[in-house]
Amino acid sequence: MNSTPDNSRPAAPSTLRRYFGIYTMLWRNALVREMGFKVNFILWIFVEMLWFALQLAFIAVIYSHTDRIDDWSQWQVVLLMSTGHFVQQIFTAMFLSNCVQVSDHIRTGRLDFMMLLPANLRFLLSFRVVDFGAFINAASAIAVMIYAGSKLGLSPSAVQVLGFLLLCVASLLVHYSLMFLLTTTSFWTVKAQGVVWGYYNLFNLARLPDSVFKGGFKVFFTFVLPMLLVANVPAKLIVQKLNSPLEMLLLVAMSLACFAVSEALWRFSLKRYTSASS
Amino acid sequence: MQKYWHVINVGIQNTLVYRANFFFRSAFSLIPLFATISLWRAIYSGNGGAAIAGYTLAQMISYYLVVTIVDAFTAVAEDDWQIAADIKDGNISQFLQKPIDYLTYRLCLYGAGRIIFILCSVVPVGLFLYYQRASFVVPADAATYGWFALSLVFTALLQFLISYTMALLAFWVQEVSTFIFILYAFEYAAGGHVFPLDLLPAPVLKALYCTPFPYQLFFPVNIYLGRTTGVALYQGLVVQAAWVVAMYFLARFVWSRGIRKYSAVGG
């Protein structure tokens, strides 16, 4: 396929530049496509905001009857939820539809065509389309985050904000790796029905305070599927709730582990792939 | 009548294809359910176990468990998407020529789908209920079961008719999915999926009761938990039945308008 032996020497700057160029083109392409359906574009933003508002309303209702959930106050939980929403929306913008489409590519045989393109296959599959509406929703999550922060009287330092953003990148990697892992299973099941549904079900856990959970449930969703880390760790850094800096390290380590597993399964499936029609 | 039995029969056979899908669906939905229950446990242990809006911890947990049961019996799964697709792809043309009523046809398929879904979720949901049995309250008398069952039938009809009518929007707009998602959001919150509606301030609850949403979920759950009794129970059932009738006529009306607008794709 690709003549650049990527694994034998470090990626040359020209390779990086080439992939950056491809990515820029894909963004332009996506923007043009998106603007073809303006009403739909705006309606989708509205739908996502409605769901986010619902979750905030849920928190408001709970806190009208109690003033603590474990050791979390109302605005701490709001900050946690908006962090979860932020990461999820960035993920939606960059990766969600790409991951969902993989099973279509396999079923229709378009995957074979993409294999022939002179670029890394996983790169092409992962970055093909961009959902711009989700960026707007991510911005709304930031607005809520800032509001919650001011309610809590927080004034995070530049280092904290930087750390928060880096942890969000790690969380994004968790989202992406797990979703790509789910979608890779469509090599066997062909129709990955319910993948998105399962994904939403799992990642909604991320928006709840981790201290609510105990026992095996907590261990599983921390060390196997790290849902309870993705929003909790960055949010806890901002509200200064981290029990130890090791939690941050754990999130980063788990994100790398998730990526490694998804890459391994991806290579394994690809090796056994025998086209759609033959 | 016979022909609709055939539809149910075929519907059951078709949905059996999705049995694994249904099984995973109901098994996976237990994860967020468990998370919600854990959340409430933490809240109750924080306030010393005092009742919240009249709910003890066991009642609160039971609320979500009964919601899961009502959902298994009445939730609309793929029906609305299929109806919209039928219209968009021109598949309904064949029904216009046959002596078969599309609404009844869809209702039969919906019923068939629910039967299979219930069968697929008996094991996971049953195990989960058993696991939570210490917090699962059961009604005191047989009459409550009866009223609950009656209300469940109304809920199912209401769920179906509302989704059906919504899907008929496909006669007018290209992409109904956004509208369906907006409706989901309202049904989800205003129906009482996320939290018991009586946690809301009284005026908000009163306003919600002017919409069909509480009758799509909250009302039967309340009957089960014994929180709606006596006159309120009878009144509620009458209102619920009235919503079913109203939605039925709305569905018929929208269909007849839609058919006038309809031009079969491809001739």
Measured CA to CA, the distance from residue B235 to residue B242 in angstroms comes to 11
Q: Encoding tokens for residue A75?
A: 């605005």
Task: Name the phi and psi angles at B55, rounded to 5.
Answer: -100, 125
Query: pLDDT exceeding 90 applies to what percent of chain A?
Result: 44
B54 vs A contacts (CB less than 8 Å): none
Interface test with B, best of A49, A52, A66, A76 (most B CBs within 10 A): A66
**Least trusted range by pLDDT, from A173-182, A192-201, B40-49, B68-77:** A192-201
Q: Is the pLDDT of residue A191 over 60?
A: no
Provide the 3-class DSSP secondary structure of residue B52: strand
Question: Is A189 an 8 Å CB contact of chain B?
Answer: no
Residues of A15-49 as b/e, b for ≥16 C-beta within 10 angstroms? Answer: eeeebeebeeebeeebeeebeeeeebbebbbebbb
**What is the pLDDT averaged over residues B36-43?**
93
pLDDT (average), residues A222-234: 92
* CA–CA separation, B201 and A266 (whole Å): 51
Q: What's the average model confidence in pLDDT over B166-195?
A: 88
Residue linked to tokens 């209300």: B151
Q: Say if the Cβ atoms of A201 and B178 lie within 8 Å.
A: no
CB of B42 less than 8 A from some CB of A: yes
Q: Using alpha carbons, list the distances in angstroms from residue A72 to A79, A197, A242, B124.
A: 11, 29, 12, 32
From chain A, the residues in CB contact with B32 under 8 A are 201, 204-205
| Interface pTM, i.e. ipTM | 0.83
Report the pLDDT value the prediction gives residue A198, as an integer from 0 to 100: 76
B93-141 pLDDT, tens digit each: 888 888 889 999 999 999 999 999 999 899 999 999 999 999 898 888 8
Query: Which residues, in sequence order, are CB contacts of B152 under 8 Å at separation 6+?
Result: B70, B73, B74, B220
- Interface probe with B: pick from A65, A68, A92, A217, most Cβ of B within 10 Å: A65
Q: Show Cβ contacts of residue B99 under 8 Å, excluding neighbours closer than 6 positions.
A: none
Chain B residues inside the 8 Å CB shell of A70: 42, 46
Q: Which distant-in-sequence residues (6+ apart) come within 8 Å of B234 by Cβ?
A: none
Residues A66-100: tens digit of each pLDDT: 888 888 999 999 999 999 999 999 999 999 888 88
More confident residue, B91 or A161: A161
Q: Do A66 and B175 touch (CB under 8 A)?
A: no
What pLDDT digit, counting tens, does each position of B242-265 carry?
Answer: 999 999 999 999 999 998 888 665
- For residue B120, give both structure tokens: 């697929």
